[in-house]
């Protein structure tokens, strides 16, 4: 389908409401197209049933759609087998699962986990927890002054003690596209396992986990135009098979007795209890919907939006851009008026009063903010539906904020 932002935008009910905001917070969560909303509604209207349980046609139909959604994700990220796709509540739960199954059962005192300085808290805190449990150490990989992964420092830190390397595909504050290919290759030279947080990256470029050769890759549905509460853990088959279960309950077992319990095979081993069936089906719907859109034209459109935004922001003397990346869908900035940094929350509030929705704060990235010596930013982030009028509205509203302040 040819990329036409007007046509695409018309498919998002939240954006077509007369009193809807100019939505520039898609890095936090995306709005949902009507086909995704309908997929959820149709499931509950017509086929609501549990999966992998019972013998009636409703559960058989729900199970078939649930497992087809898994195969849709398998094709989307080019996984070798559908058993390598595990449903989670999101990227955060997926990383915690890796930490509490793979890491907790393999790490020993003195082992090291290398984690980038620009990571989201979801890719820092789980490693700190498992390090306390095992005696391992979390080692920071610093960033360069221009908000890039410092490859020289990374190579210097790698050693036989390195057991896990955790890195974001794309960062959520500056939109930095990290050199995950080089990171993975270098980590594997030391036989370290790689964990890639793809929550932002999978939205903006095609992912082939086999070509990347990453050991784990995680992402959330809600940043990919799908619902909240559904996410994906990809892991190499041999790793997943060797990992013990995390949650116990129904579906993840073969046989239970008070003498012994045997666990189900992949992927059920990691999917205890009733899953988010509607969420999985809706995620598959979002993936299929995105596949119909010309992504080259989409990227060109995003490039024009980025240029328009940066030209507008740099024309305002009071704006200080933070970690600016070329052609990123994420732009962070501060306002400095007469030498004083205006609190990011005040700016976001003033923009909200003009019907402009942006994000303010530390963006779940305290170490990044500490490295920059700041306490937060205003973040503007695009979605597939963002248009030139949104950028014009933001720049107009921001100019009024500056005049008021």
Which pLDDT tens digit goes with each residue over 275-303? 999 999 999 999 999 999 999 999 999 99
Beta-ladder partners of 211: none
Active-site amino acid positions: 364
For helices 34-46 and 277-291, angle between their N-to-C axes, nearest 10 degrees: 150
- In the prediction, which pLDDT does 54 show? 78
Domain locations in the chain as residue ranges = 5-31+294-404, 37-291
> pLDDT tens digits, residue range 354-368?
999 999 999 999 999
Q: Where are the beta strands (DSSP E) in 192-329?
A: 193-197, 216-220, 231-235, 253-256, 261-263, 319-322
Structure tokens at 160: 């036989």
Beta-ladder partners of 167: 196
The per-residue pLDDT of the chain, averaged, comes to: 96
- In the prediction, which pLDDT does 18 show? 76
Closest C-alpha among 248, 298, 304, 241 to residue 271: 248
Phi, psi angles (nearest 5°) of residue 112: -125, 140
DSSP state of 273: S
| Spatial separation of the C-alpha atoms in residues 371 and 140, rounded to whole Å | 11
| Spatial separation of the C-alpha atoms in residues 194 and 152, rounded to whole Å | 18
Reported confidence tier of residue 17, pLDDT bands at 50, 70, 90: confident
* Enclosing H/E stretch for 134: helix 125-134
- In the prediction, which pLDDT does 19 show? 75
Give yes or no for residue 240 having a pLDDT over 90: yes
- In the prediction, which pLDDT does 106 show? 98
Beta strand 22-23 with 85-88: parallel, antiparallel or unpaired? unpaired
Reported confidence tier of residue 378, pLDDT bands at 50, 70, 90: very high
| Spatial separation of the C-alpha atoms in residues 107 and 103, rounded to whole Å | 6
pLDDT above 70: percentage of residues in the chain: 100
DSSP state of 101: I
Residue count of the chain: 405
First to last CA, the chain: 45
Give yes or no for residue 5 having a pLDDT over 90: yes
How much is the average pLDDT of 94-112? 98
Rg of the chain on CA atoms, in Å: 22
Reported confidence tier of residue 120, pLDDT bands at 50, 70, 90: very high
Give yes or no for residue 209 having a pLDDT over 80: yes
Q: Is the dihedral of CA 268, 205, 187, 369 positive or negative?
A: negative
Domain 37-291 annotated CATH 3.40.640.10: yes
Give yes or no for residue 1 having a pLDDT over 90: no
How much is the average pLDDT of 13-40? 94
| Spatial separation of the C-alpha atoms in residues 348 and 353, rounded to whole Å | 9
- In the prediction, which pLDDT does 183 show? 98
Q: Do domains 5-31+294-404 and 37-291 have the same CATH topology?
A: no
CB contact at 8 A, 360 and 348: yes
Considering the segment(s) 5-31+294-404 as one domain, its CATH architecture is: Alpha-Beta Complex (3.90)
- In the prediction, which pLDDT does 325 show? 96
């Amino acid at each position: 389908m040819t990329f036409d932002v007007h046509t695409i935008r018309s498919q998002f009910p939240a954006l077509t409401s007369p009193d809807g905001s100019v939505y520039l917070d898609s890095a936090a969560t995306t709005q949902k197209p009507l086909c995704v909303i309908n997929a959820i509604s149709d499931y509950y209207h017509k086929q609501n049933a549990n999966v992998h349980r019972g013998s009636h046609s409703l559960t058989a139909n729900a199970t078939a759609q649930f497992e087809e959604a898994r195969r849709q994700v398998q094709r989307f990220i080019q996984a070798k087998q559908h058993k390598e796709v595990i449903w989670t509540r999101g990227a955060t739960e997926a990383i915690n699962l890796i930490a509490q199954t793979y890491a907790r059962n393999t790490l020993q005192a003195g082992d090291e986990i290398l984690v980038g300085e620009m990571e989201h808290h979801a890719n820092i805190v789980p490693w700190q927890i498992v390090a306390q449990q095992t005696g391992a150490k979390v080692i920071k990989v610093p960033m360069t002054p221009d908000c890039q992964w410092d490859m020289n420092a990374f190579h210097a830190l790698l050693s036989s003690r390195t057991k896990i390397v955790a890195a974001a595909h794309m960062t959520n504050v500056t939109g930095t596209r990290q050199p995950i290919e080089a990171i993975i290759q270098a980590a594997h030279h030391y036989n370290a396992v790689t964990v890639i947080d793809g929550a932002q990256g999978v939205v903006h470029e095609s992912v082939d986990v086999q070509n990347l050769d990453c050991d784990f890759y995680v992402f959330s549905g809600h940043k990919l135009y799908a619902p909240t509460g559904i996410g994906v853990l990809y892991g190499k088959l041999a790793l997943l098979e060797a990992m013990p279960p995390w949650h116990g309950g129904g579906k993840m077992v073969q046989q239970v007795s008070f003498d012994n319990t045997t666990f189900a095979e992949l992927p059920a081993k990691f999917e205890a209890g009733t899953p988010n069936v509607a969420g999985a089906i809706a995620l598959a719907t979002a993936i299929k919907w995105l596949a119909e859109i010309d992504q080259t034209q989409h990227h060109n459109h995003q490039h024009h939006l980025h240029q328009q935004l940066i030209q507008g922001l740099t024309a305002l003397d009071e704006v200080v851009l933070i970690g600016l990346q070329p052609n990123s869908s994420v732009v962070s900035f501060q306002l400095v008026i007469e030498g004083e940094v205006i609190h990011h929350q005040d700016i976001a509030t003033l923009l909200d009063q003009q019907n402009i929705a942006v994000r303010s704060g530390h963006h779940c990235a305290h170490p990044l903010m500490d490295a920059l010596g700041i306490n937060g930013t205003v973040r503007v982030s695009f979605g597939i539906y963002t248009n030139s009028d949104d950028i014009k509205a933001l720049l107009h509203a921001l100019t009024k904020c500056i005049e008021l302040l």
